[in-house]
A and B are shown apart, each in its own frame.
Chain A
């Protein structure tokens, strides 16, 4: 009996991606708590295992042993499919991400488009879960999530469009391929294409924070105002799945920032390019995301929308115009 090698490859990548997403979700919670602790000069988790390293395991077991209650009055269909609808796009996003030149599950020519298409389904899942919960806090959270995601998708995609114009391709492997050979080739320092490239990176990063509902834009689960926002009515692992999807989305967002702006698996000094450089850059960005969360207080909702419509969108359009003008002239 012979199995087609493509099937084996598919299975290995499927298991690998799910394992990567789950492991990241578990240990990013640990990193978040440790980092929050040290920023506040505390220790963070330390009792379960050395340096609290078994804490995510204990948390996972706790969540899984809880009873899965479906509250009376919720929409039974929406309530049940919402966590799945949040989790699946988060996993699917990993399919086209090239971790190194060879380590990519599916090297699509429209990889960039695929990632952003899957990422935008996330908000639909949150909306369904919140609406289906029949809880006033969840509904407020849903309204916030939708307007926030609509507002921040625009500057993000406009920035990405200017990047696509520079690289002439949507294939993520090719985009990284153009940036190889030292940090001065990376898109963030590609001043020949547009002098505003570092600003574009900043816009992308801020929009990524808002898209993944991270602080200071965590309007969706503003725990001091809305309990847990969209997840208020979810018990046990239902809540856990939302949480895992949130962290998976952060990983995807940081991976995209690494691929589009920071040269993917390229070494800044041209030494041994490989998957380790990709992971190093990605985890540095994730560290920054957590660092930002424990530095800034939550913005007001008007501040959030003003930032997008009055600052990020105009600047990203200026960047788009400048990039196209530069492309035409040079």
Chain B
């Protein structure tokens, strides 16, 4: 008889404890992010497709066209094209082609770059109608980012 009553009391009490927990959550702020209208900042270690970093002095790219990234890439998705510029000592980057359809985001190119010219972007909103839409010219993208 004592056990029977004890079970009823402890059972009823546990139900009230449960109600207490849910009402606490009821008054806490919601955690939903209204995605297209609200965007959370990306985490610093997020790996998007690679992009060229901007040289703060010239406003252009920092690439020295050494081709290390192209050699380091295990999937052969990088093509670096440089031109000799009149009067300058070094080659200048004319096109940096990234075939993102093959990229596995391993980051070997970023690691191997001696001039810190490439980094991971935070771009995750990628959508395109064809395969060709994912063959990026990073030089052009850098110039577009200016505006």
Contacts and interface: CB of A to CB of B under 8 A. Distances in A.
A187 B25 CA distance: 32
Interface in B1-48: 8, 12, 15, 18-19, 21-23, 25-32
B30 A292 contact: no
A183 B27 CA distance: 27
B22 A295 contact: yes
Contacts of B18: 295-296
Contacts of B32: 41-43
Contacts of B26: 35, 38-39, 291
A35 B15 CA distance: 19
Dominant SS among interface residues on chain A:
helix
A25 B8 CA distance: 34
A296 B15 contact: yes
A42 B21 CA distance: 16
Given A39-B22, A43-B32, A291-B22, A311 B8 contact: yes
Contacts of B19: 291-292, 295
Given A291-B23, A294-B22, A42 B15 contact: no
Interface residues of A, number: 16
A219 B135 CA distance: 57
A178 interface: no
A288 to B, nearest CB: 8
A41 B22 CA distance: 10
Interface string A34-58: 0101111111000000000000000
A42 B30 contact: yes
A40 B28 CA distance: 10
B25 A40 contact: yes
Nearest to B8: A311
Contacts of A39: 22-23, 25-26
Contacts of B15: 296
Contact of A41 (B12, B23, B30): B30
A31 to B, nearest CB: 12
Given A39-B25, A291-B22, A291-B23, 6 more contacts: A39-B23, A41-B29, A41-B30, A42-B32, A202-B12, A296-B18
Interface of B: 8, 12, 15, 18-19, 21-23, 25-32
30 contacts: A37-B30, A38-B25, A38-B26, A38-B30, A39-B22, A39-B23, A39-B25, A39-B26, A40-B25, A41-B25, A41-B28, A41-B29, A41-B30, A41-B31, A41-B32, A42-B30, A42-B31, A42-B32, A202-B12, A291-B19, A291-B22, A291-B23, A291-B26, A292-B19, A295-B18, A295-B21, A295-B22, A296-B15, A296-B18, A315-B8
